[in-house]
Amino acid sequence: MDFTLSPINKMVIKAGKDFCERIVPEIDAYMAEHGDYPPDLLEKYAKARMLGFDVPKEYGGLATTNFNLILLIEEFGKTGSTCFLPLLMNNSVAETICHWGSEEVKKKFVPPLCDGSAWATMAFTEPDTGSDPKMLTTTATPDGDDFIINGCKRFISMANKPGYGVFICKDLSLAGQPHDSTAFIIDKKSPGISCSGHYELTGLDGADTCDIYFNNVRVPKENILGKQGQGFNVLLRWISGERIQQAAGMVGVGHQAYLEAKKYSMQRIVNGMPMGYMQGFYWMLGEMKVKIDACRLMVYNAVCKQDAGKNFDTASAEVKVFTTPLIQEVTRMAVQFHGSYGYSKEYLVEKLFRIAMHQGVVASSLEINKTIVGMTALMSK
Ligand SMILES: Cc1cc2nc3c(=O)[nH]c(=O)nc-3n(C[C@H](O)[C@H](O)[C@H](O)COP(=O)(O)OP(=O)(O)OC[C@H]3O[C@@H](n4cnc5c(N)ncnc54)[C@H](O)[C@@H]3O)c2cc1C
C-alpha cells in the first residue's frame, strides 16, 4: 500500500498543527481551571472545519476521508490534551448515524453533530459489563409508539453534555431472541435522565466521563438506529472506527514522548556528555522511533481499509493489539529518560504516560481485541 501523503493530507496536518499551537493551550488552561471542556469547544471545531469528516455534505459534513481524520487526531495526540475526545466522538457518532439511520433520522440528528451545537455520546457500558451484550440490564419496554428506557450506563463520555447519544439497550420486545439489543438515539436532556459527577481518572485530565441514569425515559420508535436487534452490530461497527481513531491519537502521544526524550537526552549531561550519546540511550531512542513508525503504519493500513469500504473489524482489532503495549512502553521509556523529573508534573512525559494507559481499557479492552484477532485467525483458511 502506498501511504504517500497527498497535498490535501498535508493541508489537514498543517491545519491541525496550527490549531494545536494556537487554540489548544487556551482550551487546556480552561480545562485545568474548571475540570471540564469549554462550553464552546465544539463550535471551535466546527469553525475550524473539523467535524463531519466522513459525512456527506447534505447532512452538514465535510465529505472527506477517515484517513484525513486520523492525521488530524495524531496532531492532537502530540499535545497531551484531552480535548480531542469530543472531536473524535462527534465525528464517529455522526458517521455511525449516517450509516445506519433512515433519511429522517439522518436529517434530524446529523447536522447538529457537524455544526457543533450537539455533543455526541455512544453508550454501551453498564455497571455489570463493558464487553458482554448478554449482560445488559438497561431495558427498553415498548409502549404504543414509544419505548420506555430504564437503567444505568457507566463511564460514558460526554453523557452530561447537551446533545444526542446512541444508547444500546436490552429490547424487551425481543425477549428470548438471541439478538435482543437495540440502539436508540436519545436526547440527553430528556425528562427522566440524570448523571453522576465525573470520574477521577488516571489520565485524560478533565475528561467528562460519568454515569447516566434513565428513569422511565420516553423515546419515540423513530429514534431506533438500524433495526431492532441490531444494537450490538451498531456498537461493533462504531467501535471498529473508534479504535483506529483512538490509536491515531496514541501514535501522537508516543511520537511526542519520543521527541521529548530526544530533546532531554541532548540537554542532560551524564558522565561529562549529553546522555543521548550513551549507547544505552540512543538504542532506546532508536527503539522508540521504530515502535512509533510501525504503529503509525498499522493505523494507516486499517483506516485505508475503512475508507475503501472493506471490512475493517479485524484490522482495527489488530491495531489495538499491536499499538497498545508499544505506545505504553514508549511513554514509559520517555519517563525513564527524564529520571525523577519524568515522574513530576513539570514534564509533559508524565502526562503522556498516564494518557497512554487508557488505550488498553477504553473503546473495548485489549483482551477482547486479542479474542477478535485470534478467533479470526482460527476461522480463516
Ligand atoms: C475514560 C473512559 C471513557 C469511556 N467512555 C465510554 C463511552 O463513551 N461509552 C461506553 O459505552 N463506555 C465507555 N467507557 C467504558 C469502557 O469502554 C469499558 O470500561 C471497557 O469496554 C471495559 O469494560 P469493563 O470495564 O466493564 O470491563 P469488563 O468487560 O468487566 O472486563 C473486565 C476484564 O475482563 C476482561 N474480559 C472481559 N471479557 C473477556 C473475554 N470474553 N475474554 C477475555 N477477557 C475478557 C477485560 O479485558 C477486562 O480486562 C469508558 C471508560 C473510560 C475509562
Regarding the beta carbon of 131 and ligand 1, being less than 6 Å apart is answered yes
For CATH 1.10.540.10, list the domain ranges present in the chain: 7-114
CA of 343 to the centre of ligand 1 (A): 27
C-alpha cell belonging to residue 83: 480535548
The pLDDT value given to residue 2: 81
Q: Which CATH architecture has domain 7-114?
A: Orthogonal Bundle (1.10)
Ligand 1 and 210: CB distance under 6 A: no
- The answer to whether 257 and 137 are in contact (CB under 8 A) is no
Given CATH 2.40.110.10, say whether it is the number of domain 121-229. Answer: yes
Per-residue pLDDT of the chain (381 residues; tens, 9 = 90+): 788 999 999 999 999 999 999 999 999 999 999 999 999 999 999 999 999 999 999 999 999 999 999 999 999 999 999 999 999 999 999 999 999 999 999 999 999 999 999 999 999 999 999 988 889 999 999 999 999 999 999 999 999 999 999 999 999 999 999 999 999 999 999 999 999 999 999 999 999 999 999 999 999 999 999 999 999 999 999 999 999 999 999 999 999 999 999 999 999 999 999 999 999 999 999 999 999 999 999 999 999 999 999 999 999 999 999 999 999 999 999 999 999 999 999 999 999 999 999 999 999 999 999 999 999 999 998
Question: In the chain, which residues fall in CATH 1.20.140.10?
Answer: 233-379
Residue nearest to atom 22 of ligand 1 (CA): 130
How many other β-carbons are positioned within 10 Å of the β-carbon of residue 148? 18
Q: Which of 171, 103, 163, 164 is nearest to 138 (CA)?
A: 171
Q: Where are the alpha helices (DSSP H) in 40-159?
A: 41-47, 66-79, 84-100, 103-114
Q: Where in the chain is the domain with CATH 2.40.110.10?
A: 121-229
Q: Considering only the top CATH level, what class is 233-379?
A: mainly alpha
- Cell matching residue 306: 475503512
pTM for the model stands at 0.96
- Given the CA of residue 207, which atom of ligand 1 is nearest to it? 1
Nearest of 168, 321, 147, 315 to residue 233 by alpha carbon: 168
Nearest CA, atom 25, ligand 1: 130
Indicate whether residue 150 lines ligand 1 (CB < 6 A). no
CA atoms within 13 A on the CB side of 102: 10
